Structure 1
Amino acid sequence: MLSFDFVPDSARNGCISIGNFDGVHRGHRIMLDSLVVLARQVRTHTVAVTFHPHPVAVLRPDFAPPILTDIPERIRLLKQAGMDHVVVLPVTSELMAMSARQFFDSFVVNQLQARGMTEGVNFRFGRNRLAGTSELQQMCDAADIRLQLTDIVTTESFEISSSRIRKLLVHGQIAEACTLLGHPYTISGVVSAGAGRGTGIGFPTANLERIPTLVPSAGVYAGLTTINGTNYVVAVHIGPNPTFADGRHKVECHIDQFTGSLYGTELSVQLIAEVRTLQSFASPAELVAQIEVDVQSCRRIVSPYL
């Protein structure tokens, strides 16, 4: 039997919610708000249980969706949503083979010793996702665990879901994706040395590599970053650089009014809205003129977030 003895004692005897929580979007937040209310009624703490990696990455690796949040960012957002504890459940083939009853008894009852539980009405669990909320209700009743279910959250007739947000990001629709998320979309990576062209034209960039999450489609975006406690406006260029015949797909961040060196450090940028699509310019001078316009646009877009 799979062991769950990694669960800390502090996470036991609480009210729990189990899910991928990728993106921690508005639909998740409504369910988590409901969990906070339940925990107050039961007079205990809240526990969010998330998975790593995504279950599809274990079951069908070729079909695994790109993630919206890595684990550190997901934990940060879950705690921001009022979770007292976050348990990261390692996804293995052994875990995915467990029946709903086995998972419920060994993890929810024996390890977490849950006193309450909140899930969405479309929650499914166990091997092949065979069990739904009716089975969950029966199990919770038998274990004296209070269960409450939340409705699917929609906007303009569309369900707010991680998959829909991914589609928006793939098409560069950052502002709409952020509306569904309820917060800016964050990308993080390690700053590497670039070709130095940005510095040469007066707009140095931090080039991000090893980004673990979904990178939006090619374009220029307005973003925000925090360095040593100070917020900065960021103009983010994603994709190739046609003006210099550079076809490599890169993420280049011009951090407005920042003068230090970030090479080798990790940088997180909150993307807020799209500015424009990519285009080729006849000369570096034309490119510089457009970048100046882009930076002004980014300042205007980001100013409410500073």
Structure 2
Amino acid sequence: MKIFKNFNEYSSQKPLALSLGMFDGVHLGHKSIINELIKVGSENNLETAILTFWPHPRFVFNPNEDLKLLNTLEEKKFLMDKYGIDNLFLKEFDEDFRNLTGEEFVRQILVDKLHIKYLIIGYDHSFGKNKSGNFDLLQKLSKELGFEVEQMEAINIHENNISSTKVRNALLSGNIKEATEMLGYPYSVSGTVTHGKKIGRTIGYPTANIKTDSIKLLPKKGAYIVEVEVNSRQYKGMLSIGTNPTVNGDQLTVEVYILDFNEDIYDKPITVKFRDYLHDEIKFESLEKLIERLDEDKRLTEMFPF
């Protein structure tokens, strides 16, 4: 997959079948668009492309908003490449770009610079200044400018349209299975293993503290069954997101106990994939009660079908 941060860098012998949007999470709704792009590209000898924005435009419009994303940039690149996209355009949502009307965007960017021949948009997608670009505008301009346009229908699970917002809400509610269904893959968090207070090792449950990307959404506080990838191997794990109230902690931490594992992994990269929710964050009346709960969590994790 070729990646472009500047439209002027792009040139190709083949015209494009393209879709645009944030694609945060690259969930099953996005996957349906990607699959259609690949089908259209194959049938019409077109290269496929996604035009997305980085950073997220909401960081521009609402700089004080504490927005958390489902994907880091590296995760989004990985998923786009995995799903078979030929070209990924990462456009900075700067002042000039945000002032383009929908029609100016189509004429100046999609047609003049990218030479699109087929455009696919989501069921509720709008673009351009004041959201002036929509499917009706695209249908009108497509006839004049010589490209085809298609609007995808929403993808539903349990009679609900899939959206990035609904995935976020599921994760923030601890509903891991629902989030996995909408994404089409387990939600993951990656980071670097850092030194913590090392309390876990004193009670038989040494944990790896994970320093995560500040823009990455963390699921609801609590305990989770996770799949752990470290040193290119997979393990079962129990993960905690919270402040460790039993030992009067005051900092939010992400800590994972890796089953059947005893290696020094400080400063190593680690990825955890969320498989199920165990329980809310609990302040236990004693360390003995905490250990009893950890023993039960470990039993449930061992039994979980990975």
TM-score where L is the length of structure 1: 0.91
Q: Which residue of 2 aligns with 1:172?
A: 174
- How far off its partner does 1:141 sit? 2.4
Q: Which residue of 1 aligns with 2:89?
A: 87
| C-alpha distance in structure 1 between counterparts of 2:164 and 2:14, whole Å | 28
SS at match of 1:101: helix
Q: Which residue of 1 aligns with 2:279?
A: 276
SS at match of 1:9: coil
- How far off its partner does 1:153 sit? 1.8
Q: Which residue of 2 aligns with 1:163?
A: 165
| Gap change, CA 1:299 and 1:94, over 3 Å in 2 | farther
Structure 1 counterpart of 2:206, from 204, 207, 213: 204
| C-alpha distance in structure 1 between counterparts of 2:12 and 2:222, whole Å | 45
SS at match of 2:29: helix
| C-alpha distance in structure 1 between counterparts of 2:225 and 2:39, whole Å | 36
Q: Which residue of 2 aligns with 1:27?
A: 29
| C-alpha distance in structure 2 between counterparts of 1:149 and 1:5, whole Å | 24
- How far off its partner does 1:7 sit? 4.1
Aligned length: 301
Structure 2 counterpart of 1:141, from 143, 160, 174: 143
- How far off its partner does 1:220 sit? 0.3
CA contact (8 A) 1:42 1:116 kept: no
CA displacement, residues 64-108 of structure 1 (integer Å, 9 cap, x when unaligned): 631110111011112222212222111112211111122112221
State yes or no: 1:289 paired with 2:292. Answer: yes
CA contact (8 A) 2:186 2:275 kept: yes
Q: Give the letter for the 2:229 counterpart.
A: T
- How far off its partner does 1:12 sit? 6.3
Q: Give the letter for the 2:207 counterpart.
A: T
| Gap change, CA 1:223 and 1:46, over 3 Å in 2 | same
SS at match of 1:31: helix
Q: Give the letter for the 2:142 counterpart.
A: C
CA displacement, residues 241-292 of structure 1 (integer Å, 9 cap, x when unaligned): 1221223221111122222222223322111221111223333233223212
TM-score where L is the length of structure 2: 0.91
| Gap change, CA 1:222 and 1:16, over 3 Å in 2 | same
| C-alpha distance in structure 1 between counterparts of 2:123 and 2:281, whole Å | 42
CA displacement, residues 43-77 of structure 1 (integer Å, 9 cap, x when unaligned): 22211121111111101223463111011101111
SS at match of 1:111: coil
Q: Which residue of 2 aligns with 1:231?
A: 234
- How far off its partner does 1:131 sit? 1.6
- How far off its partner does 1:231 sit? 0.9
The residue correspondences of 1:177-256 to structure 2 (distance < 5 A) are: 177-211=179-213, 212-256=215-259
| Gap change, CA 1:10 and 1:71, over 3 Å in 2 | farther
| C-alpha distance in structure 1 between counterparts of 2:166 and 2:55, whole Å | 20
| C-alpha distance in structure 1 between counterparts of 2:137 and 2:66, whole Å | 27
Structure 1 counterpart of 2:118, from 112, 116, 119: 116
CA displacement, residues 86-145 of structure 1 (integer Å, 9 cap, x when unaligned): 221111122111111221122211222222121113221111211210101222222222
| C-alpha distance in structure 2 between counterparts of 1:140 and 1:68, whole Å | 33
| C-alpha distance in structure 1 between counterparts of 2:79 and 2:13, whole Å | 18
Q: Give the letter for the 1:9 counterpart.
A: S
| C-alpha distance in structure 2 between counterparts of 1:273 and 1:223, whole Å | 7
Q: Give the letter for the 2:231 counterpart.
A: N
| Gap change, CA 1:148 and 1:252, over 3 Å in 2 | same
Mark the runs of 5 or more structure 1 residues left unpaired by the alignment: none
Structure 2 counterpart of 1:78, from 77, 80, 85: 80
The alignment yields a C-alpha RMSD, in angstroms, of 2.0
